[in-house]
Amino acid sequence: MGMRVRRALSLMVVVGLTGLLSGAAGGAAPTAEAAVAAAVGLLPASLQGAVAAPAAAPPVRTVVPAPAAPAVLPTTRGQMRAVRVAPVVVPGTPCRSTARACVDLSGNRAWLLDDGEVAYGPVPITSGRAGFRTPPGTFAVTFHSRDHVSSIYDAPMPYSVFFNGGIAFHQGSLSQLSHGCIHLSRTAAREFFGALDRGDLVQVVS
């Protein structure tokens, strides 16, 4: 059977080439698959099954990569600072470099920070009295009110910068404790009012 298959294959090659050349001479050359199929048809029936027709090449699949998800960019200056600056303690303060304002309750001091460095301060402060202690923590500035008046205590709070509910930096007495706010001198209150933006981080340390 092996000798017969080899002879059959030789015959297929001869017939296939003859078909290709004759087709080319006539102006319409048959494909290689058509020539081989014709050659197989000329073989005896007992040998046609022993010769496999060439398998069709699998279709080529083009893989299109999925589009990358859009990057989420920081929107506020406080968020951009948190990305840009490594969170380390700023020398001379108890606060981390991601904060824009730093309050030391036990030391009665406050600073403005910028890119992990002291930009202003320390300045003296007073904070909440007994029963109204200023809570420690990290907060974000929510809004400003240049000529704010307390609706609870009917007291003026010039240059208010709110960062924890009703708690704010504002101009106030440096000899009397507050109801939770951070009192600053007029000069310092104006500096904090002008420097802090909505979303900036305020760190209050006990």
Phi, psi of 104 (to 5 degrees): -110, 100
Annotated catalytic residue: which of 95, 144, 181, 183?
Answer: 181
Among 196, 179, 189, 140, smallest CA distance to 163 is for: 140
Q: Which among 144, 148, 170, 183 is annotated as catalytic?
A: 170
Distance CA 191, CA 166 (A): 20
Q: Give alpha helix (H) positions in the chain.
A: 2-26, 32-42, 45-48, 77-84, 186-195
77-205 folds as L,D-transpeptidase catalytic domain-like (2.40.440)
**CA–CA separation, 179 and 168 (whole Å):** 10
Domain ranges for the chain, please list them: 2-48, 77-205
Whole-number pLDDT of residue 133: 97
Identify whether 181 is a catalytic site residue. yes
Peptide bond into 122 cis (omega under 30): yes
If one counts every other C-beta atom within 10 angstroms of the C-beta of residue 56, the result is 7
Q: Along the 206 residues of the chain, how does pLDDT read in single tens digits?
A: 555 555 655 555 454 555 544 554 455 555 555 555 555 555 556 555 555 545 555 666 766 666 665 555 555 655 555 455 568 999 999 999 999 999 999 999 999 999 999 999 999 999 999 999 999 999 999 999 999 999 999 999 999 999 999 999 999 999 999 999 999 999 999 999 999 999 999 999 99
Q: Provide the pLDDT for residue 150.
A: 94
Q: What is the pLDDT of residue 87?
A: 81
- Answer yes or no: 183 catalytic: no
